[in-house]
Structure 1
Amino acid sequence: MQAVLLSGSTARGTADRWSDVEIGVFWQTPPEDFDRSDLAASGGALDSRLFGYDEEEQVWCDDLYLGAPGPEGLLVEVVHTLTESTEQLLDSVLVAHSPDPVGLNVADGLVDGIAFHGAELIDGWKMRATSYPRKLAVAVVESAGVIDHFWRWEMLVDRRNPVLFAGLLSSASQQLLTMLLALNRRYGPKPKWLAHLSDTLAVAPVDLGERLRQVFTVEPRAAAHSLAELVEETFTLIEAELPEVDVDRLRTIFRHRRPPLDGPPGARRRT
């Protein structure tokens, strides 16, 4: 074991009664199950669940419970990974400027994290990640800014399908927030704290948090129009902050609309 990092809302000082504790453990060689079990026991875990290796994210995950077993205890999520894997993910974000959410999440955890062990190693990573590359911001915006098929909200309203309608609004809202994070040189693919986030973004539409919350409380057509306004305002901000982004292309994709057919294609309407 080379380093241990406290991350997430506990490290940022924003934890509440719903929060868990997020711990990152960095190894030079793959940890054995007994290594992970020993760490859980030494930390006072009354219950522990160890999961297998996730090849996509290159991690081993443990759920530990303190104070009480099972869901009644304080959940501690421990993520084990190799030091080499972390270096590679940081290279992908900071050198290759990949907008991959896994790498962005790792960088976010390092920037806000607190080292419990191996401070020298973690401080080196933090120094690397502190400067958010402009080319990374461009890559994230160009990826998240492709909000395709937004026109389908009209179809879903006509079909009275609130389930898919809510999913469409949620997906577009998350893409909107991802763009704004990049504009503000902030890592992290899925912000959980909307109020805290909206209050700390220097570059954002006016009253972002309140307007975004209203998207999910007003009637469907008003909700879609309100979200469209936020997206359009964000595109305008992108033009000012990152002129190298082809915002016209993003607007064209977002504004594309497939009108409904009320009769045979090409048929003339009777007057």
Structure 2
Amino acid sequence: MVTGSVAEGLCDEYSDCDVMFYYDELPTEAELARSRQQNPGAELVDILGNPTEGAVGETLCIDGVECQFAHATIAQWEREIASILEAFDITSPIMKGMSGTLNGIPLYGELLIQQWKARITDYPDGLAQKMVEHYLTFVPVWGMQEKLARRDTTLWYHQILVESAQNILGVLSGLNRLYFSAFQFKRMGRFVEQMAIAPADLSARLEGLFLQEPPVAARELEGLVRETTELVNIHMPQVDTALAKRKLGWRQQPWIPAPH
């Protein structure tokens, strides 16, 4: 199965080629080595994973194109699907693989891959709620602007912005039944376009957080958090948003030394 930007028709001259191979039993290292020899000039860049765990990945450079080949047993991949759809392991990078499978193009074994696609398309309600509850947490940077201005907090401030933007996307992914992982997250605009439930102009506003002066960006972030929690109240009222909303409108006040 071809996945990634090639399968989605989004590849360019910097793209790699992602291909997934599934087996009843993984090939041996000798068998993989023989397959590489069928690509004259292919350069082995890296090998990842442990075959004893049911999966291994290799990166080859073929005619200047980086090709990432993932080899997994059918049993291992089905266990990983279950880890998301049944165990709700939303922090796993396999979340990214779920979207890859949905968008993938089968080259062989189409019947089996279509069965996986059908299963992944059926996004469980429990997974959606787990996504919302997990990501519904925000550092109220909008209320700490005067304090941060007095401290050397550039890295921490931008870390808060990144994590906050990712958490907003995570919450909205749950509301929209989308598979989301912060791992190597790319093409945000295209991802946001899939959301029927989202604050207006979400993509542009998230991008703007990193282009505006801190006081302006902090207020915009506060507004996005407010709108996102309101959407949770409307579309998933069983989730408690009190903690996320508690600091909206809050501004930290300096303490005053007590007189002697």
**Fold-level match, TM-score > 0.5?**
yes
The 1:45/1:80 distance shift into structure 2, 3 A limit, reads farther
Alpha-carbon distance, 1:116 to partner: 1.3
1:183 pairs with 157, 160, 175, which one? 175
The 1:257/1:58 distance shift into structure 2, 3 A limit, reads farther
Deviations 1:140-182 (A, max 9, x none): 1111112246468634443143222111101111111122222
Q: Hey, what does 1:70 align to over in structure 2?
A: none
Give runs of aligned pairs for residues 9-88 of structure 1, distance below 5 A: 9-43=5-39, 46-53=42-49, 59-67=55-63, 73-88=64-79
Q: Hey, what does 1:106 align to over in structure 2?
A: 97
Q: Give the letter for the 1:110 counterpart.
A: T
TM-score (norm 2): 0.86
Give runs of aligned pairs for residues 1-271 of structure 1, distance below 5 A: 5-43=1-39, 46-53=42-49, 59-67=55-63, 73-148=64-139, 150=141, 154=145, 155-190=147-182, 191-252=185-246, 255=248, 259=252, 261-264=254-257, 267=258
- In 2, the alpha carbon distance for the partners of 1:205 and 1:46 equals 47
Q: Give the letter for the 2:214 counterpart.
A: P
The 1:48/1:161 distance shift into structure 2, 3 A limit, reads same
Sequence identity of aligned pairs in percent?
Answer: 27
TM-score (norm 1): 0.83
Alpha-carbon distance, 1:261 to partner: 4.5
Give unpaired runs (5+ residues) of structure 2. Answer: none
The 1:62/1:159 distance shift into structure 2, 3 A limit, reads same
The number of residue pairs the alignment matches comes to 256
- In 1, the alpha carbon distance for the partners of 2:229 and 2:50 equals 36
SS at match of 1:114: coil
- In 2, the alpha carbon distance for the partners of 1:177 and 1:39 equals 40
Contact 1:153 1:165 in 2 (8 A): no
- In 1, the alpha carbon distance for the partners of 2:116 and 2:87 equals 16
Contact 2:21 2:69 in 1 (8 A): yes
- In 1, the alpha carbon distance for the partners of 2:191 and 2:101 equals 18
- In 1, the alpha carbon distance for the partners of 2:48 and 2:103 equals 27
Deviations 1:212-254 (A, max 9, x none): 11111010111111122112211111111111211223323x6
Contact 1:157 1:165 in 2 (8 A): no
Q: Give the letter for the 2:225 counterpart.
A: V
- In 1, the alpha carbon distance for the partners of 2:231 and 2:29 equals 49
Deviations 1:80-127 (A, max 9, x none): 223222111211222233323333222211111111122222111111
- In 2, the alpha carbon distance for the partners of 1:204 and 1:128 equals 25
What RMSD over aligned residues (CA atoms) do the two structures have, in Å?
2.7
